[in-house]
Structures are given as structure tokens and as C-alpha cells.
Structure 1
Amino acid sequence: MSRVIRIGTRDSELALWQANTVKSALEKLGHKTELVPVKSQGDLVLDKPLYEFGITGIFTKTLDVAMLTDAIDIAVHSMKDVPTALPKGIVEAAVLKRAHTQDILIHKGTNFLNEEGVVATGSLRRQAQWLHKYPNHEIVDLRGNVNTRLQKLQDSDWNGAIFAAAGLERINLKPDSYIDLKWMIPAPAQGAMLVVAKEEDDFCRKALAALNHEPSQICVHIEREFLRILEGGCTAPIGALATIEGDKIHFKAALFSLDGQQRIGVEKTIAVSENKGFGKACAEEVLQSGGAELMKEIKQQVNNTKG
């Protein structure tokens, strides 16, 4: 009897789209599957900024528990939400081909850009980079799934809100009134989907290996290694993007202060064959250029906010 692969997912529209994408891909390979939607604490508590929970992986923890207690076999995540260290017993099984990596601003008119304005985001990375470019603007917190955040923007008097292009494109919600933020460095692994499985589950790991897209995997590993060495988790304004062109990897990354005034960046190109340890080397360069002191300041400020 062939086994049914139980796919765990958050129950937002975007998460279900991602899970159904994996479901279809596995079924094309001849596997039987079923979706098991699970609500996460990150979806349920919408009145606190993410960093106030004090843990990384707020959107992935519920699915981790479901997998380790054998309620599901695999889980599908937006990779940028996944902590750089997976729980014991859970392993990366596939990185799907990456989508659009860019952030976009959805707005109600762009006149405010050169004046005073209010922009919404729940991301410290987006906040810091926006304030770096527009120091006279006010940032307000914006939480919830994509649909909720779009509705909150519509119901508010804010000038705009920042979103990941990939999420809106996947569920056909990208409006006409947006600007590509080409100058904003995305979150490590933004636009990538990760499927995890139990380390001991050879059947699922073998099935998912067929879905892995190696160029995407190489790029997100560099970005996440950079993040891990800087110890960013979900609490620091860190952007990182690796792209492959031919046999070269181009990497651009930066650490910002919370107010956006300080920026410590790195930009390098290497051969694809030399990618091992590249993210770590870039992170160490940032740490030695003042990043270590800046990370201490950021952690202190975030802890004071929690207190």
C-alpha cells in the first residue's frame, strides 16, 4: 500500500497556496498527499510586533511540534520565516525554485515620498531601510497575513505599506498602485519556499529531493549563513541577497541600526564553485567593520522594547 504524505501548513491563503504547490508537484511524481492546515501563534496574536514574542520561528513552531508528534509528515514554509537552526529531528528536504525576491510599496499616491508620510511594516529590516532613505517619515507597525495587512492599509490613513512582491503575486493580489523598491535589500531567503521533513523519514526525504532547485538552494544558504553568523534571527534589520549569473554568485547584504541611520554593508562576487562558507566570511567582515557593536545595541534596544 502506498503511503499518503501529510502536508502541514499554516491556514492563510498564501500558506495554502504554497502547500498546494508542493502537493501538486508531489502528485505529479505519483505520490498520494493530503493537506493538514494548522494555526500558528504568529497568526493568532496580531497586536504585538513579532520581535516581542522573544522567540524565533513564531510562524514555524506549531508545525514543528505537529511534525515531531507525528500529526504531519512534511511542512511547507516561506523560507524567510524559518529560523536558521532547525529543531532537532527536522531537516531541510527541498528548496523550491525561488520567486520574485523584491519588496514593493503599495501606496495611495506617491506625492508623500518627498514630504512627511506614514508607512506601515511589521519588519525591522524594512523599517530601518525605509528610514535610511526617508528619515522624515513615520513607521507604524503592521501585522497579520497578506490579506489582513492589505485591508488594514485600505482602512487606514497611512500613505503606504511595504510587502514582499512574491506573496502578493502568488495569490494574485498585487495592485496597480505599487513601486518596486529596487534599492531595498530583501530578507534572507525572501521569495523562497522550504519543505522540511523528519530526519528519520527516508520516504518523504527521497520524494522531496526531486523538488529541490539547486541554484535557489545555494543562494538562500549563503543568505541564511550570513544571517546566522550575525545572530539576527527575527530581531535585527538584516538584508541579504545572493544571485547566480552564469558561473558567478553576486552577493549584497547589510546590517542597519533600528533608526536606519547606520548601515554596514558588503558586496562581493565569487565563483559558484567557491560558495561554501561564503555567507560566513561576508558576515564576519560586517562584524569586524562595526557590526558586532551595532548588533549589541540592537539587541539591547529590542530587549528594552519587550520590557
Structure 2
Amino acid sequence: MIRIGTRGSRLALWQAHFVQAELRKHGIESELEIIKTQGDRVQHLGFDKLEGKGFFTKEIEDALLEGRIDCAVHSLKDLPTNHPEGLVLAALSYRASVGDRILVHPDRVVKGKPFGLADNATIGTSSNRRKAILKDLHPGLLPVDIRGNVPTRMKKALSGELDAVVLAAAGLERLDLDLSGLHVIEPSPREFVPAPGQGVMAVQCREEDIEIRKRLSLFHHPVVGECTNVERTVLNLMEGGCSMPLGVYCEQDQLGNYHVWAAFAQTANEPLRRVQLSQSTRAGLAEAVVERLLSAPSAR
């Protein structure tokens, strides 16, 4: 029986149940252990106000290191790029829709404006990456910090408390939320660049547990691993965490070439720098993206 550590949010539990189902396909039974993280306990502060990295992962990683659980399921975008000594990534899931969705209250839609939103419209997000990209694409918007699980944040727009909110498409899809009462904008991830690793679930375990690593590797997606490795290497080289205004998206085409889109700002309120780079190999790709990001002229 494998013990799986997870956060207790509806989306985190969906992800943990997905991993359970994948293991069950191979005759492996498991049980869930729900663990509260700093990000779950502190709901009144934005991510940039929380200390350190790993707001949604540290307590779960501690449980792994202490042997209270055998593996952990995370959203890859929440996982710091440097693992604690003794822990490794054993598997990465398929990638759901990689981009963000902008959910607009239907009465607040203004035709002809970016995202259908008027100047001075309020839009909910606590992500500095999203704030920087919104400022670049629609400088007239008023970002408002929001926290809470996916349904809670969605209701901010549905109720009209805010004109709109920005959420990851993957969470909306996996929870199968009813968006019929909202106007849904689907920006391209090549323009509204997602967080590194967005849309992917990561399963972490102890490096020494070879047998469990073998079992978990049964549902690993290698191409997802290759592309997200580029994204997370960029994040690591930029020395960034969840609060850095950085988006990186890598995809592989049918010929095996890699294409990367990146967007970076020093702060959420400073001009955005954009880079697009393609190579036939991953060798040196992340390093080249970082070099160009740091030398690229600002958008304005």
C-alpha cells in the first residue's frame, strides 16, 4: 500500500485521485494523506508577501523525508526547482490545457477592448506574472489580489464582486466547473505566457525508494518532462519562485524541434520583456532564453 501525500483542496484531491487511478491500472493500491501547507493556512496574504519558496509543497516534502508518506502529488508549477536533498521527481503527468483563462462577468463585457474589459475594470489575480502580462496587454486594468481555491476565485467574477478573474485552464477543466454564466476569454499561451510547468502534475518520492520510483515511472510522460525541464531550468537560472513575474512555455513540434516563449518583468508594474526562441535540440536552450530575457528591450 503506497501512502500518497497531498493538499486538501478540491483540485489537489482531484490530482491525487488521478494518480491513485493510474497506479490502480497497474494493480498498485494506495491511500491518501492530507497535509496542510503554508499556502493553505495563510489566505490573507499575496504570494509575494509569503516568505521563501515552496508555499504549497514544503510541509509535504517534510512528510516525505520523515517517512510519513511514500510519495507526494503536486502541481508542477508550485514545486521549487531545487529539490530537498534525498527527494526526486518520479513521474510527470500528461499536460492539460497549458494556458490561462480570463473569466468575465457577462454584464461587464465591453466589445472592442482587450479581453472585453473596459479601462479601470477590476480583475482578480495574486500572480505577479499575470499582473505583468495584463499590464502589458491592457494597461487600463486594475488587478486585485485574491486567494482561495479555484471555485472560490471563480465566484468573484460570477457574483460581480470583480469584473473578471484569471485562472489556469487546467484547474477549470479538471474540476469540470460550470462556466456558462461567464464570458470566457482564452488567450494564446504564446502571448499570455503561462507559469513554468503549468498544467502538469508531478509525483515526488525519496531518491532511495527504487521500487516505488519504478512503479511511479509507469505513467511518466517523457515529452512533457523534456519541455517542462526547459521551462523550469529557465526559472532556476533566473533564481525565481512563485512570485517572480516570469512566464515560460516550451512545446515540441512533430519534427522534434523545441519552441520556447518567455515573458519577464522585474516587478509586476515594470515593462515586460518577451523572447521567442526555437532549436532542434534542448542543449543550451534554457540558457539562451535567459540570456535573451535579461538583455531584451522592454516592450514599452
TM-score (norm 2): 0.91
Tell me which residue corresponds to 1:179: 185
Matched residues in 1 for 2:139 and 2:29: separation?
53
Tell me which residue corresponds to 1:189: 197
- Alignment gaps of 5+ in structure 1: 292-307
Q: What amino acid maps onto 1:205 in structure 2?
A: R
Matched residues in 1 for 2:218 and 2:284: separation?
25
Matched residues in 2 for 1:128 and 1:77: separation?
25
Tell me which residue corresponds to 1:160: 164
Identity across the alignment (%): 37
CA deviation vs aligned residue, 1:70-128 (integer Å, no higher than 9, x gap): 11000001100000111111101011111100100111032262432110101000011
Does structure 1 conserve the Cα–Cα contact (< 8 Å) formed by 2:3 and 2:33?
A: yes
Instruction: Summarize the Cα distance change of 1:276–1:210 in structure 2 as closer, same or farther, 3 Å threshold.
Output: farther
Q: What amino acid maps onto 1:232 in structure 2?
A: G
Pairing of 1:24-39 with structure 2 (within 5 A): 24-39=21-36
Question: Of 275, 282, 291, which residue of structure 2 is paired with 1:284?
Answer: 291
Tell me which residue corresponds to 2:211: 203
Please state how far the C-alpha of 1:277 moved relative to its aligned partner.
3.1
Number of equivalent positions: 286
Pairing of 1:76-91 with structure 2 (within 5 A): 76-91=73-88
- The answer to whether structure 1 residue 244 and structure 2 residue 252 are counterparts is yes
Does structure 1 conserve the Cα–Cα contact (< 8 Å) formed by 2:3 and 2:71?
A: yes
- The answer to whether structure 1 residue 62 and structure 2 residue 59 are counterparts is yes
Matched residues in 1 for 2:12 and 2:229: separation?
22
Pairing of 1:141-152 with structure 2 (within 5 A): 141-152=145-156
Tell me which residue corresponds to 1:23: 20
Tell me which residue corresponds to 1:298: none
CA deviation vs aligned residue, 1:113-172 (integer Å, no higher than 9, x gap): 243211010100001101111111111101111122123444453100000000010011
Runs of 4+ in 1 over 6 A off after TM superposition: none
Does structure 1 conserve the Cα–Cα contact (< 8 Å) formed by 2:132 and 2:272?
A: no
Does structure 1 conserve the Cα–Cα contact (< 8 Å) formed by 2:74 and 2:203?
A: yes
* Secondary structure of the corresponding residue to residue 36 of structure 1: strand
Matched residues in 2 for 1:240 and 1:102: separation?
11
Matched residues in 2 for 1:151 and 1:120: separation?
11
Please state how far the C-alpha of 1:288 moved relative to its aligned partner.
3.5
Tell me which residue corresponds to 1:92: 89
Segment drifting more, 190-199 vs 226-235: 226-235
Does structure 2 conserve the Cα–Cα contact (< 8 Å) formed by 1:223 and 1:241?
A: yes
Please state how far the C-alpha of 1:209 moved relative to its aligned partner.
1.1
Instruction: Summarize the Cα distance change of 1:120–1:103 in structure 2 as closer, same or farther, 3 Å threshold.
Output: same
Point out the structure with the larger helix share: 1
Does structure 1 conserve the Cα–Cα contact (< 8 Å) formed by 2:156 and 2:164?
A: no
Does structure 2 conserve the Cα–Cα contact (< 8 Å) formed by 1:165 and 1:174?
A: no
Matched residues in 2 for 1:280 and 1:51: separation?
26
Pairing of 1:259-274 with structure 2 (within 5 A): 259-271=268-280, 274=281
Tell me which residue corresponds to 1:12: 9
Q: What amino acid maps onto 2:146 in structure 1?
A: L
TM-score (norm 1): 0.89
Does structure 1 conserve the Cα–Cα contact (< 8 Å) formed by 2:105 and 2:160?
A: no
